[in-house]
Amino acid sequence: MKYVLVSVLVIVILSMSSMLAAAQTRSEAWIPGLASFLIPGLGQLLNDEPDKAILHFGVDVAILVGGGYIASIMPPYYWYSGYSIVGLAHLAWSLYSGYDAYTVAKEKGFSIGLTGDGLTLSYNF
């Protein structure tokens, strides 16, 4: 009976310590999310997804350049609505890109911080 009680106590202590260790692991997934919201593709690059980063950045450039060109050749009384649509499309793509970078970083456990000597910036995921 004593062995069962001791083994249950050890299991409880070990599970609590692993829960505390998991709670202490910080995830700064907001960094790639914010980076990709500001510049679509930058968060994907931080998440070590260069192909997806190029795609997100390329789509954003296509929205801005192509939409700006189409809005500029519209008749003058449609300029406001044309540029508004381009702005809304850019905002929607930035939000999606930020959300995608955030969720991937959250799944991978992205964290960033200084190393022990305080001089090197390192990140892991």
| 1 pLDDT more than 90 | no
Residue 122 is predicted with a pLDDT of 54
Residue 18 is predicted with a pLDDT of 45
| 80 pLDDT more than 80 | no
| 17 pLDDT more than 50 | no
Is pTM, for the whole model, over 0.75? Answer: no
Residue 43 is predicted with a pLDDT of 93
pLDDT band at 20 (very low <50, low <70, confident <90, very high): very low
**SS3 sequence, the chain?**
CHHHHHHHHHHHHHHHHHHHHHHHCCCCCHHHHHHHHHCCCHHHHHCCCHHHHHHHHHHHHHHHHHHHHHHHCCCHHHHHHHHHHHHHHHHHHHHHHHHHHHHHHHHHCCEEEECCCCCCEEEEC
Between residues 8 and 83, which one has the greater pLDDT? 83
pLDDT digits (tens, 9 = 90+) for 87-125: 999 999 999 999 999 999 999 888 776 656 655 555 565
Residue 54 is predicted with a pLDDT of 97
Residue 10 is predicted with a pLDDT of 54
